[in-house]
Amino acid sequence: MTHSHWHKNIPERERLIFALDVPDPDRAMQLIEQLDDSVVFYKLGLEMFLSGAYFELSAELKRRGKRVFADLKLFDIPATVGRAVAQLARLEVDFLTVHGNDAMLKAAVAERGSTGILAVTALTSLDRGDLDDLGFACDVEALVLSRAQRALAIGCAGVVSSGLEAKALRTGVDHGLVVVCPGIRPVDNQGGDQKRTLSAAEAFRAGADYIVVGRPIRDAGDPHQAAENLQQEISRFFSML
C-alpha cells in the first residue's frame, strides 16, 4: 500500500498543530503574535480553558483565520457531554476531543455541528505497564484499533492516537479516519514525558494526518523559527510522496 492511499487533501501547513499550553491569555497572545504565519492550527487544552479566556482566545484565533482544536477530553454522562459539545460547537472549533465510551461519543456526534469529534484512543503518556495498572487486559494496539473502528462507525471524524499505532489504524480502519498524533518531537529533540513519541516524518510515514507539537516550539529560543523548521520538515516529507 502506498502513502497516497490514506493521505488526505489537507493544506500542508495545517498539518502542524501547535499545542498552546500556557497558563495565561497574555502569554498565549504573545505566542500567537510571535508565531504569525508559521502556525495555522492551534490546540487549546484544559489549562487554557481554566484560565477563563478560552472562548475569547478561540474567537480571536478564528478571526485571524486560524483553525482551533479544543483538546478537552470530555468524559461525563452522555447528556452532559452532548450539552458541552453544543456549547463548543457554537465557537466553530474544528476539532474537539471526547475521551469516553460509545454512548458519550454518540451524544457528542449528535451535537457537533461543523466540529469534528476526535475520540481519544489511549493517552500518549501510557505504556503497556500503565494499561496493566488500569486493568486493561488487551494490548495497546488492539485497544486503539477497536476504539477507532467504533468511533468512525458512530460518526466521529477521527482519533487522537500515538504515532506508534497510526500504521495499524491505516491497515485496520477505513482511510476516511482522521488520525491526529500528539507528542511529536523534531528529530533532534526526542525525549520528555511522552513515552510513545516519533519525529514528524515518522508519524506521517506511519499514517498521521496531523501532528501536535508543544514544547519544542513553545520553549525554543525562537518559536517562529522552530515552527517554520517543522513546517519545512513536513513539506520535505510530502514533496517526496
Strands 210-213 and 178-181 turn out to be parallel
Q: Which long-range contacts (CB under 8 A, 24 or more apart) does 147-154 make?
A: 147/119, 147/121, 147/122, 148/119, 148/121, 148/172, 148/173, 148/177, 149/173, 150/102, 150/105, 151/105, 151/117, 151/119, 152/176, 152/177, 154/102, 154/105, 154/106, 154/109
Q: Give the C-alpha separation, 93 to 114, whole Å.
A: 8
CA-to-CA distance for 141 and 189, rounded, in angstroms?
A: 25
Q: Which of 8, 62, 66, 73 is catalytic?
A: 73
The DSSP element (H or E) to which 146 belongs, if any, is helix 140-154
Residue 209 phi/psi, 5-degree rounding, is: -100, -35
Let me know how long the chain is: 241
* Residue 73 is among the residues annotated as catalytic for this protein: yes
Q: Which residues are catalytic?
A: 73
